[in-house]
Amino acid sequence: MDQSFDDVWAECEDLFGQARETLATLKEPQPAHVVQASVNALFRTTHTLKGMAGMLGYPVFSKAAHRLEDIFDLMRKGRLRSTDSLIETLEAGVLALESGLDGLRRGRPEPEDYLQPVRRQIGELEAMARPTEGQAQDLTTLLDLPPETLRALSDYERMRVTAVLLAGTPIHGLGVCLDYSTFDERLRAISEALAARGELISTLPWDLPPEREGLAFLLLWAGATLEPLPVEAGEALESRQLVDPALIPASLRAPASPEPAPERLPEGPAAPMAPVHDGEILRLPAQRVEALEARLMTVGQLRDNASRLLRRVEEAELDAPRALLSEMETGLLDVQKSLLQMRMVKVETLFSRIEPMVKSLSRDLGKPVRLQVQGGELEVERSLLSRLADPFLHLVRNALDHGLELPSERLAQGKTETGTLKLSASQWGRNLRFDLRDDGRGFDLARIEARGLELGLLEAGERPDPDRLLRLSLEPGFSTQDQASQISGRGVGMDVVRSEVESLGGEIHLSTEPRRGSLIRLTLPLSRAVVNCLKVRCEGQVFGIPLASVLRVQAGRVPLRGGERVEVLGTPIPLESLQACLSLREPEAQRTFVVLTQQGGPAGRGSFEVAIGVDQVLGRGDVLLRSLPELAQTPGIMGGSPQEDGILWVVDPEAVLGLAMDSLMRRVASV
């Protein structure tokens, strides 16, 4: 793909994020003018996406975006009302477009219809929006305004006048006279104030009285009242209600329950509005950010060298330069953390894409599903999360189609009618873990084995263990479905998952229990992060232990040796030296400090505590961690960070605890 389009892809990604956020606001009850502002924002977003698709040369995508744009246009014109089912359909449509665009970015051909998953629902919406015979289309003639002013209204403004009048909301006219030098600023301030209190339908030129100077405007505003007027002294020309909705003939009023009129907002915090992205966004190529990070690393090393030179000279007048260098170190770390945060995005942005798809599939398959998510606040690199989108969508589709049973089948097994799908994200040492669990039927190992024999992946007479059978489901073209559906069964989903995860340097783990459900775990290496560490020294080397795993720091009363027990708060806990855990030379027992760590035991293992002996505790601090290639197979080390005294090695608490237990077991065995 041409790199010149990188900014366009990034802009599209942001637009989809804005669309998801705005649709989320429509799920909760909102004042009418807030709903209208949200719908207008969605209309503009899809219109922009349509234009960008044309710029990229994808006419089918542009056509699909145009169809969604038409739905939002019908909503903003009042011909479709915001309902739960409507919002779910639109969420599924936006997700289909987003997934399709991601496929294009990866070089896949355009599908025939991006909106295939919601084609029927969109057709129903379009049919509902068709005007019925005799329905009033334009009530603007009821406004108490000159004919030439009415003719200046656009088709959209006419539709909004009709919609709000049928909903029972009064329409007011506010005439203002503004000074030439400040009219643009004042007009914007007045418009924003009116829009916050109701719906600003139109801003029109207005005739200025002969005795006044400046520019005059008429603002049409729908709301319960105009008080207090957002104008300064001398600006208001007139303010009056242009039509009373009660005077509209009953034959023209909407038979359905009317749209609630916007209420007068109380003093204090404003009502929630549609997300406004008014901050300036700068788009930078990732290579520039990486080059800046490398340059900062070089500057940090120069600072470390200068610090070492100053330490060799023990003179009082050098205290000030040393303090300045310390402040420089803090500043450099802050800049490095800021650069890292520029790359980061919360996992909840991925989970938010999955939620509408689960609702849509649940409805289409007739399987009630309760979606639970955990760890959405975890931040990972944007590029990583983007590449995980497709694998997660495949896994969720498979879980709902293959894993979860129909309600009747679940009830017959003594389960609740509603299935459960759990998504979680967490960080374990040097790795990120993404889990997908369901409480369905589990993998059908017998069916997998039979299918493996059919495809020649297993030999007759072979007795494969469950792990081998589960791995077969990741093979290209493997599927236990006799017929492919629109959701799954083509034998490409799990292969895509495995390929993407392995290309990221990660692993995929499958486990299952008949009639109890299954677990799919994606484990991916952490490339970089800022970790808050406890810094310790052992045999002249500085190590960092992530504070999230440190429960207590304590000085022993007597010298301790590995394999002994130390009493902590009245409880004896096994002690092992950090050197023994890392296979380093173990000195004589001189450790007077211990660090207690705890592991919450993945995969159901219980938590346990071990005291790790160290020579000295140096303090705590943030460390910019990098996962260095040469450390990929180093047990107990999750990364390194350059410091003024050399490399600070950050230990992997989970791995160190396992190594400590192994070392202690060897000590017991040798006794």
- Summarised one tens digit per residue, pLDDT across range 456-504 is 888 888 888 888 888 888 887 676 655 444 444 443 457 778 888 888 8
Under DSSP, is residue 352 helix (H, G, I), strand (E, B) or coil? helix
Indicate whether 2 pLDDT > 50.
Answer: no
DSSP 265: P
Q: How confident is the model at residue 522 (pLDDT cuts 50, 70, 90)?
A: very high
Beta bridge partners of 529: 625
pLDDT at residue number 517: 93
Mean pLDDT to the nearest integer, 152-175: 83
Query: Distance between CA 664 and CA 608 in Å, rounded?
Result: 14
Cα 420 from Cα 103, distance rounded (Å): 29
- Tell me the pLDDT band of 604, cut-offs 50, 70 and 90: very low
Mean pLDDT for the chain? 78
What confidence score (pLDDT) does residue 367 get? 93
Give kind and range of the element (H or E) at residue 385.
helix 382-398
Classified as helix, coil or strand, 654 is helix
Q: What is the pLDDT of residues 195-231, one digit of tens each?
A: 888 888 888 888 888 888 888 899 898 887 656 778 8
Name the pairing type of β-strands 646-651 and 541-546. parallel
Q: Per mean pLDDT, which range of 109-113, 260-264, 557-561, 599-603 is the poorest? A: 260-264
Band of pLDDT at residue 358, cut at 50, 70 and 90: confident
Q: What is the pTM of this model?
A: 0.56
Confidence of residue 539 (pLDDT cuts 50, 70, 90): confident
Weakest mean pLDDT among 46-55, 170-179, 414-423, 568-577: 46-55
* Burial environment of residue 662 by CB neighbours within 10 A (0 to 12, 13 to 18, 19 or more): middle
Token pair listed for 247: 């005077």
CA 274-275-279 angle, to 5 degrees, is 140
Percent of the chain with pLDDT over 70: 78
pLDDT grade, residue 267 (50/70/90)?
A: very low
Higher pLDDT pick, 286 / 160: 160
Query: What pLDDT is attached to residue 55?
Result: 65
pLDDT number for residue 266: 36
Tell me the one-letter amino acid at 522.
Answer: L
Architecture of domain 528-670: Roll (2.30)
Instruction: Specify the pLDDT at position 513.
Output: 92
Angstrom distances, CA of residue 648 to CA of 184, 543, 565, 621: 58, 5, 28, 12
Q: What is the pLDDT of residue 624?
A: 73
| % of the chain beyond a pLDDT of 90 | 9
d(CA 562, CA 35): 66
Q: Is the pLDDT of residue 645 over 70?
A: no
Residue 660's contacts (CB-CB under 8 Å, 6 or more residues apart) are 574, 576, 580, 581, 610, 612
Q: Tell me how crowded residue 177 is: count the other CB atoms within 10 A of its CB.
A: 19
Least confident of 53-62, 446-455, 543-552: 53-62
- At residue 262, does pLDDT exceed 60? no
The residue type of 579 is Q
d(CA 428, CA 525): 10
**Where are the chain's structural domains?**
3-128, 140-252, 286-345, 347-520, 528-670
Residue 167 backbone phi and psi in degrees, to 5: -80, -5
Identity of the amino acid at 564: E
pLDDT digits (tens, 9 = 90+) for 16-66: 888 888 888 888 887 777 888 888 888 888 888 887 787 677 888 888 888
Which tokens sit at 450?
């039979």
Q: For residue range 364-403, what is the model confidence (pLDDT) as tens digits?
A: 889 999 999 999 888 888 778 878 887 888 888 889 988 9
Region 538-544: mean pLDDT is: 85
Residue 284 scores a pLDDT above 80:
no
Residues 6+ apart with CB under 8 A from 145: 173, 242
Rg (CA), the chain: 32
pLDDT recorded at residue 258: 39
What's the average model confidence in pLDDT over 300-329? 70
CATH number of 347-520: 3.30.565.10
- pLDDT at residue 277, as a whole number: 39
AA identity, residue 565: R
Matching residue, tokens 């029972």: 168
Cross-strand pairs, 565 = 574
> Does residue 625 carry a pLDDT above 70?
yes
- Say if residues 186 and 178 touch (Cβ distance below 8 Å): yes
* Structure token pair of residue 583: 């296979």
Q: What count of other Cβ atoms lies within 10 Å of the Cβ of residue 54? A: 15
Which pair of structure tokens corresponds to residue 202?
Answer: 């139109």
The predicted structure's pLDDT at residue 338: 72
Q: Which H helix or E strand runs over 624? A: strand 616-626
251 CB-side CA count, 13 A: 4
Q: Which amino acid is at 380?
A: V
pLDDT of 389 reads 80
Whether residue 640 is predicted with pLDDT greater than 60 in this model: the reply is yes
Q: 97: closest CA among 120, 499, 89?
A: 89
Residue type for position 214 = G
Of 88 and 280, more confident: 88
Cβ(440)–Cβ(403) below 8 Å: yes
Q: How far apart are CA 418 and CA 179, in angstroms?
A: 64
Answer yes or no: is pLDDT of 282 > 70.
no
Higher pLDDT, 51 or 1: 51
| Of 55, 241, 277, 265, residue with least CA distance to 164 | 241
SS3 372: strand
Instruction: Please determine, for residue 629, whether its predicted confidence score (pLDDT) is greater than 70.
Output: no
What number is the average pLDDT over the span 429-453?
Answer: 88
Encoding tokens for residue 368?
A: 């009630």
Taking the C-alpha atoms of residue 581 and residue 640, their distance in angstroms, rounded to an integer, is: 17
CATH superfamily assigned to domain 3-128: HPT domain (1.20.120.160)
Q: Residue 52 burial by CB count (10 A; 0-12/13-18/19+): exposed, middle or buried?
A: buried
- Distance (Å, whole) CA 428 – CA 431: 5
Do residues 619 and 532 lie in contact, with contact meaning Cβ atoms separated by under 8 Å?
Answer: no
Using DSSP's 3-state secondary structure scheme, residue 272 falls into coil
The number of beta carbons lying within 10 Å of the beta carbon of residue 552 is 14
